[in-house]
Structure 1
Amino acid sequence: MHEELEAILNIHFRSPDLLTLALTHRSYIYEASGEGKTSNERLEFLGDSILALISADFLYRTFPNLAEGELTDARAVLVRTETLAKFAREINLGKYLLMGKGEQNSGGGQRVLASAFEALLGAIYLDQGLETVQTFLLTRIEPLAHTIVKNRLFKDNKSLFQELAQAREGITPSYRLVSQEGPSHNREFTIEVMLGEQVAGQGQGRNKQAAEQEAAHQALISRGWL
């Protein structure tokens, strides 16, 4: 299985254990006989920081005319759960994940795929160094970043949704917390955006602000406003 994934990644791991760790979801440890094993959460933490650095560096060098706030918003689009899950699906990462049966039955979900992709970045970094991670990541980030900047897609989703909702439906959106799960260092918030009594969109994120942005993004898509 490792050889198959390595061929897709075009990366041969010197330490296969790192790749195995990147693919190990916490549900596998809980449900399987995983005594003495650990999940990919620490690698995910590392990969998240590497992703932020590489994407910020690329945007800064490539788009000198973007202001600081625009760079921040553009990066937020590049590193959000939906984008990372898309990257994960492109390399069929879900096929190789070690998950508990409950998580397998649900198909893993976007958050699991996004987290595994970040863990994979952390594993590549530890095994191969920063340059290899950059090469691997930039082939995915670069075309998306140009699309985002060209079409000004980095505008804050909450602001855009509020502006359009007020103009087209005469309603100011409100947000409500649905759930918060996971340990304090790796919490996932689920938030719904409401138009009156109607749920317009739902989003997940590591903090309430990110979840609200994702909910607004989903609402924009579902209404055909994006």
Structure 2
Amino acid sequence: MATLPHEFADPNLMELALTHASTGAAEDNERLEFLGDAVLDLIVAEELYRQRPNHAEGAMTELKAWIVSRRVLADVTRDIGMDAIARIGLGMRNRVLPRSVLANIYEAYLGAVYLDGGLEAARRFARITLDKPLTRILTAEGEPNPKQTLQRHGQLATGEPPTYVVVRERGHAHAKAFLVAAEIGKRRFPSAWGRTLKEAERWAAHEALLVLEEEA
């Protein structure tokens, strides 16, 4: 069994956190997942606020979105062996679990840790298990660039880089805002606002990556 950085006072909480809805059990981990998602957002936001005092709100939002993304949480869930102890329905066994399922298990487990031991226990669990992605961000060695990431995806999917379309502009010359959407081939992704074209393109790339991650 995986050794995880929290010893539960209430083992029933741990069991519930590891019970995916696909089991058809009377109780599953969906409510804990809802709670854990909120707890994770708080913990990561607090860490970025303390560690990146010169970052603007938009930059911190982008970094937080990357750290709590399904891709990162799924990788962490596998790394710490939580996937091996999760209770999954028969139809999902003996195959690679989707990122969404793995990420949901992580969030549910964090929610259970929070209920069992409070915010400090949840902080400790998150800091230990998310140490690698947090370290990459806080040392600026692996700070994500959504445009570069989306470009790689576009090259793999269509052989062409994504394009960025200005959907709308507003404001005066000295205080403009731009609404931009990313396109890969004939597919257009949700648009995003930015105070400059460069910023709007980064946010548009981020929106596209969120959609693609949901589909992965």
Aligned partner of 2:10 in structure 1 is 15
Measured after TM superposition, the shift of residue 9 of structure 1 is: 1.0
Q: Give the superposed CA RMSD.
A: 3.3
Query: How far off is 1:144 after superposition?
Result: 2.1
Unpaired segments ≥5 residues, structure 1: 175-192, 198-208, 218-226
* Residues 51, 79 of structure 1: 8 Å contact kept: yes
- Superposed, which structure 2 residues align to 1:1-226 within 5 Å? 4-5=1-2, 8-29=3-24, 34=25, 37-149=26-138, 150-151=140-141, 153-155=143-145, 157=146, 161=150, 169=160, 172=163, 194-195=184-185, 212-214=208-210
Give the deviation of 1:106 after TM superposition. 3.0
CA distance in 2 between partners of 1:22 and 1:164 (Å): 33
Q: Classify 1:213/1:132 alpha carbon distance in 2 versus 1 (closer, same or farther; 3 Å).
A: same
Q: What SS is found at the alignment partner of 1:105?
A: coil
Q: 1:46 to 1:196 in 2, by over 3 A?
A: same
Contact 2:114 2:121 in 1 (8 A): yes
**Structure with max Cα Rg:** 2
Query: What do the CA deviations read for 1:91-131 (whole angstroms, capped 9, x no partner)?
Result: 11111111111111333221111100000000001111110
1:23 is displaced (CA, Å) by 0.6
AA in 2 matched with 1:77: W
In the aligned structure 2, how far is the partner of 1:173 from the partner of 1:103? 38
- Number of aligned positions between the proteins: 176
Is the CA contact 1:41–1:119 (under 8 Å) kept in the aligned structure 2?
A: yes
1:152 CA drift (Å): 6.5
The DSSP-based 3-state class of the residue aligned with 1:14 is coil
Q: CA deviation at 1:165?
A: 6.6
Structure 1 residues 216 and 109, CA gap change in structure 2 (3 angstroms) = closer
Distance in 2 between residues matched to 1:170 and 1:113, nearest whole Å: 30
Residue aligned with 1:9, SS: coil
Partners of 2:153 and 2:206 lie apart in 1 by 20
Q: Is the 8 A contact 1:23 1:116 kept in 2?
A: yes
Question: Against the structure 1 CA distance between its residues 48 and 210, is the aligned structure 2 distance closer, same or farther, given a 3 Å change threshold?
Answer: farther
With normalisation by structure 2, the TM-score equals 0.69
Equivalent AA in structure 1 for residue 6 of structure 2: I
Flag structure 2 segments of 5+ consecutive residues without an equivalent: 166-182, 188-204
Q: Normalized against structure 1, the TM-score is what?
A: 0.67
